[in-house]
Amino acid sequence: MPISAIIFGGRRAKTAPLVYQSRDWNHGVFVGSIMGSEKTAAAEGQVGETRRDPMAMIPFCGYHMADYWQHWLDMGNIIPNQPKIFNVNWFRTDENGNFIWPGFGENLRVLEWILKRCFDEADAKETEIGYLPKAEDINLAGLDLDVETLEGLLSVDRDLWKAEVEGIRDFYQQFGDKLPKELAKELADLEARLNA
Amino acid sequence: MELTKNKAVLEWIDQQIKLTTPDQVVWIDGTEEQLESLREEACATGEIYKLNQEKLPGCYLHRSDPSDVARVEGRTFICCEKQEDAGPTNNWMAPADMHAMLDEICGGAMKGRTMYVIPYSMGPVGSPFAKYGIELTDSIYVVLNMAIMTRVGKAILDQLADSPDFIKGLHCKADLDPEKRYIVQFPEENAIVSVNSGYGGNVLQGKKCFALRIASNLGRQEDWLAEHMLILGIQNPQGEVRYVTGAFPSACGKTNLAMLIPPEGYQKDGWKCWCVGDDIAWLRVGEDGRLWAVNPEKGFFGVAPGTNLNSNPNALYTTQKGTIFTNVALNLDDDTVWWEKLDKNPPKNALDWKGNPWSPETA
């Protein structure tokens, strides 16, 4: 099957927005490399420790993970007609630790925007972390969720993301100088945008 | 009884027979007849239990050893020649040392048992994307599961013909000793060995061992990607069909997304979704310059707890026939199965996953 979009996901109470799109292939590989899930269920606004699982391949990558990322980057150079790369997070919570987004079948509303982006049928707004949808571009018809709540799900908290940069840097340490320079650059660029 | 004249296949199997000394060797030809006779044999020994065939046609129950209920990441190894090629996220041991250790564990391990030779394909047989393997196992449960999860049988050997390009897999249940349990991939040898387990991703070598760990190496060499991803087909009201792939760590909704059912309003508008794969995608550059995905598996391997009509109706319906249930409760009143959160109706008279009497009061 021809692929229009590659979607990376995780489980983050506060950090990652409902959905965002990478700027280009290399940035997309970066987004895949930082995928994470919080170890403990968030409660009362606390954020659990993040377990990183790049491309969900930690238990399954049959060779050096940094070399694997380099292979992903190299693949970008040989796919003339690339799929777009996105990150989703169904699991943001409110101050009581409840999930805000209903998930399940309603996730199709997010996939709808993703596919529109793949075919140049929808706009996006540029943020420090990548392209986010405008709230009005996610179809809420038939859903008991208001636009303000959706805007919350699409928000990017600079302070949380600065902490995220530290977490990513920590995680990347174990790969030493095998870490592809493109990923080091993406991290540095992200940090620069957050501090601008 | 051999189903091929392929020298590489026969020599390798011969070596494994000399090592493990099975009483007999049975080649899996892929016929329903042979599979049915194996099901009967496994029922007779108690390896599997035939469920209520009216409510759950073709379904069986199996209980694994209580110490053997999950993949064991701490005992899974990537044994390439150089440690630096395995990287900080993999367990490594020098291949020579690992082979020595495994040979000792496997030596004579099939004495008194039957060795089943399972030729199998990841991907449709004959597809340019397909890769072939042979798994040698002493477990009928593994044979039956592989027949669900992959394409098995003589057709694979016919396709392979004289080629030495197949993934060599040895699985010995041995004593199911957790202290000697190892799941090992040798990427430079295209070989897999799993020992002292009888469970899931440890021993159904097509899935994680081959389609991800070995295949990611093949992908690097051959310019494609073997990924831990679902593949979902989506048709919009205009009739346009698109596909997406997604990678999610466990407990992040991957299976539910793979089997997504559009909300009512979307269904009325004409949206359709279908699952092409829920676990693994092999991605290649097509002639049209796009990235094309194949699900190399044939069946589904799901996690029961939490699966119900609300969370994932598609998954639940799929389990109503031709399914092997592992480590779930057995409803003794009607020989059906139950698990946590299946519904609000736990069986009053049941056996738990270890085979002990269970009822909601004693739970």
What are the tens digits of pLDDT across the range B288-333? 999 999 999 999 999 999 899 998 999 999 999 999 999 999 999 9
Encoded tokens for A144: 């008991």
Encoded tokens for B17: 């027979």
Catalytic site includes residue B59: no
Active-site position among B43, B172, B252, B275: B252
Q: Considering its fold, how many domains does chain B have in total?
A: 2
* Residue A44 banded pLDDT, cuts 50, 70, 90: very low
Domain boundaries, position A22? 5-195
CATH code of the domain covering residue A39:
3.90.228.20
The string of DSSP letters for B132-146 reads EEEEEES-HHHHHHH
Domain boundaries, position B155? 7-48+67-223
Whether B300 is in a domain gets the answer no
User: Are both B256 and B195 inside the same structural domain?
Assistant: no
Q: What is the pLDDT of chain B when averaged over all its residues? A: 97
Q: Using CA atoms, how far apart are residues B360 and B345, in angstroms rounded to an integer?
A: 9
Q: Using CA atoms, how far apart are residues B95 and B82, in angstroms rounded to an integer?
A: 9
Å from A22 to nearest chain B CA? 14
pLDDT of residue A45: 47
Q: Considering its fold, how many domains does chain A have in total?
A: 1
- The answer to pTM > 0.80 is yes
Q: Using CA atoms, how far apart are residues B206 and B149, in angstroms rounded to an integer?
A: 8
Whether B195 is in a domain gets the answer yes
pLDDT of residue A48: 66
Q: Using CA atoms, how far apart are residues A44 and A13, in angstroms rounded to an integer?
A: 11
Taking an 8 Å cut-off on Cβ atoms, the answer to whether B212 and A78 are in contact is no
Encoded tokens for A2: 């021809």
What are the tens digits of pLDDT across the range A122-178? 999 999 999 999 999 999 999 999 999 999 999 999 999 999 999 999 999 999 999
Q: Which residues pair with B357 in a beta bridge?
A: B351
Taking an 8 Å cut-off on Cβ atoms, the answer to whether B215 and A114 are in contact is no
User: Are both B271 and B127 inside the same structural domain?
Assistant: no
pLDDT of residue B362: 83
Which of A1, A11, A61 has the CB atom closest to B252's CB atom? A11
Å from A85 to nearest chain B CA? 10
User: Are both B131 and B235 inside the same structural domain?
Assistant: no
User: Are both B174 and B268 inside the same structural domain?
Assistant: no
Q: Which residue in the block uniquely carries the two structure tokens 């390798």?
A: B12
The answer to whether B9 and B157 are in contact (CB under 8 A) is yes
Interval B234-256 mean pLDDT: 95
Whether B127 is in a domain gets the answer yes
User: Are both B118 and B13 inside the same structural domain?
Assistant: yes
Residues 4-23 of A with CB under 8 A from B: 4-11
User: Are both B150 and B273 inside the same structural domain?
Assistant: no
User: Are both B122 and B42 inside the same structural domain?
Assistant: yes
Which of B87, B256, B311 has the CB atom closest to A63's CB atom? B87
Give chain A's end-to-end CA distance (angstroms, integer): 41
pLDDT for residue A43 is more than 50: no
What are the tens digits of pLDDT across the range A102-125? 999 999 999 999 999 999 999 999
- Selected for mutation to probe chain A from B220, B275, B297 (highest A CB count within 10 Å) is B220
Q: Which chain B residues touch A6 with a CB distance below 8 Å? A: 229, 244-247
User: Are both B123 and B94 inside the same structural domain?
Assistant: yes
CATH code of the domain covering residue B146:
3.40.449.10
Whether B34 is in a domain gets the answer yes
What are the tens digits of pLDDT across the range A59-80? 999 999 999 999 999 999 999 9
User: Are both B263 and B244 inside the same structural domain?
Assistant: yes
Q: Which chain A residues touch B124 with a CB distance below 8 Å? A: none
Whether B105 is in a domain gets the answer yes
pLDDT for residue B243 is more than 50: yes
User: Are both B202 and B79 inside the same structural domain?
Assistant: yes
Q: Using CA atoms, how far apart are residues B24 and B44, in angstroms rounded to an integer?
A: 19
Q: Using CA atoms, how far apart are residues B158 and B286, in angstroms rounded to an integer?
A: 26
Nearest chain B residue to A57 by CA distance is B228
Nearest chain B residue to A33 by CA distance is B247
Q: Is A145 on the interface with B (CB under 8 A)?
A: no
Q: Using CA atoms, how far apart are residues B213 and A55, in angstroms rounded to an integer?
A: 13
User: Are both B21 and B137 inside the same structural domain?
Assistant: yes
Which of B236, B290, B311 has the CB atom closest to A3's CB atom? B290
Whether B57 is in a domain gets the answer no
B243: helix, strand or coil: strand
Whether B98 is in a domain gets the answer yes
Q: Which chain B residues touch A5 with a CB distance below 8 Å? A: 244-245
Q: Is A41 on the interface with B (CB under 8 A)?
A: no
